Structure 1
């Protein structure tokens, strides 16, 4: 069983940390593929499209060699790409869908991007010192203490594969304009959200649950980067849900 993992705004596959390794240990019969969005990671020199469908089409071309069906596990804006993919995929191409702290136009703008997050994100984009910016991103997306070693690792990622301001603004425009269809793409999907997410309100996931009768699980205190804050909780939710999917 093949899984494709997608990260969110301006983040790349290296930002998963050891989460893919944890997935492989917990699900030994599965293969997990981390894939970058255009403009990030190994594709940091690519120009990012400014719509979710165009980003989804780009991602699909990169993973055309992976046997079907595939499963999607995606965080934040990556979840928008995954949802758009599920809604446009041929029947049977997507087997399981797991969306973490994502949002869509089914929710109001003040839930999709919490009002307190906007000024902090704009300040982040204006940072000149990369280390300070990466440490500030961690402080916003994680509700756990940020070890110096982790901040240094994220700084190193940005130094090696820098994400441009143009990519950041194009991704923001794509996320803001995402309009999924109202048609449910799968009978069930697993929605994971953090009650204390300071960027995206957990009610965005609850809206998808009520609209399509999908499975929603809420973490009590993790931040937006749930795989960073509590990867073991995600593994537990997957283990409980997959036999039913």
Structure 2
């Protein structure tokens, strides 16, 4: 199986940390491909579109060398791109879909982004002190005790491949405007959410269970970056759900 991993707003493949390696150990024989959204990672010099559909098409073209069908694991805004992809594919192109702490226009704005978070994120992205900014983003997205090594790593990522304010704003605009089509793209998908998420309310994930009868699993305490806070829980849920 070929898996595509997509991160969220202003984050890139290096922000997955050890999670991809854990996936490789848990699923021998499967191949995991870390793919950056436009404006981040290896594409940090490219302008990001301000619509999820256009971001999806750029991502889709960037994986053209990987044989389909694809399996997607996508976090936050990456989940929006993955869902939009699943709704605009040739039959059989997407085999399995795992969404983590994502949201959509099916939920009200105050659930998609908890009150007060948007202004805080805008202020964070505008800060010039990169280390302090990345440390504050880490504190906002993770509920684990702050790890100095992770802070230094995130700072190093931003130093090497900086996400500019224009690209961050374009991604935020795309995320805020995104609403899926009403039709269910797959008979089932795995939807993972965190009750401890301080950015996106977990009910945004429950909407997919209610609307499309997808499988929903909820972590009781992890933060928005669920693969960082409890990677083994995520892997356990994928193992139990994945069709044999």
Q: TM-score, normalised by structure 2?
A: 0.99
Partner SS state of residue 71, structure 1: strand
> Which residue of the partner structure matches residue 116 of structure 2?
116
1:27 corresponds to:
27
Give 4+ residue runs of structure 1 displaced > 6 Å after superposition. none
Name structure 1 gaps, 5 residues minimum.
Answer: none
Alignment size in residue pairs: 244
Q: Distance in 2 between matches of 1:90 and 1:112?
A: 29
Q: Tell me what 2:73 maps to.
A: 73
Spell out the pairing of 1:187-202 with structure 2 (5 A cutoff): 187-202=187-202
Instruction: Give the SS at the match of 2:50.
Output: coil
SS in 2 for 1:10: coil
**Cα-Cα RMSD:** 0.7
Q: Deviation at 1:206?
A: 0.2
CA distance in 2, matches of 1:167, 1:89: 26
Provide the C-alpha distance between the structure 1 equivalents of 2:2 and 2:30, rounded to a whole number of angstroms: 6
Asked whether 1:64 is paired with 2:48, we answer no
Match of 1:215 in 2: 215
How far, CA to CA, are the matches of 1:209 and 1:142 in structure 2?
Answer: 25
Equivalent in the alignment of 1:142: 142
For 1:54-89, what per-residue CA distance to the aligned partner results, in whole angstroms no more than 9, with x for missing partners?
Answer: 000000000011111110000000000000000001
Q: Please give the secondary structure, in 2, of the residue aligned with 1:74.
A: strand
Indicate the residue corresponding to 2:105 in structure 1.
Answer: 105
1:125 Cα deviation after fit: 1.9
What's the CA shift string for 1:124-176, capped at 9, x where partnerless?
02211000000000000000111111100000000000000000000000001
Shift of 1:119: 2.9
Which position in structure 2 is the counterpart of 1:173? 173
In the other structure, the counterpart of 1:82 is: 82
- Aligned mates of 1:223, 1:119 — CA distance in 2: 19
Indicate whether 1:204 and 2:184 are aligned. no
Consecutive unaligned residues in structure 2, runs of 5 or more:
none
Partner residue in 1 for 2:235:
235
Query: Deviation at 1:118?
Result: 2.2
Cα offsets for 1:90-148 (capped at 9, x unmatched): 11110000000000000000000000312321220221100000000000000011111
Partners of 2:126 and 2:3 in 1: CA distance: 35
Rounded Cα–Cα distance in structure 2 between residues aligned with 1:130 and 1:230: 26
SS of 1:211's equivalent?
helix
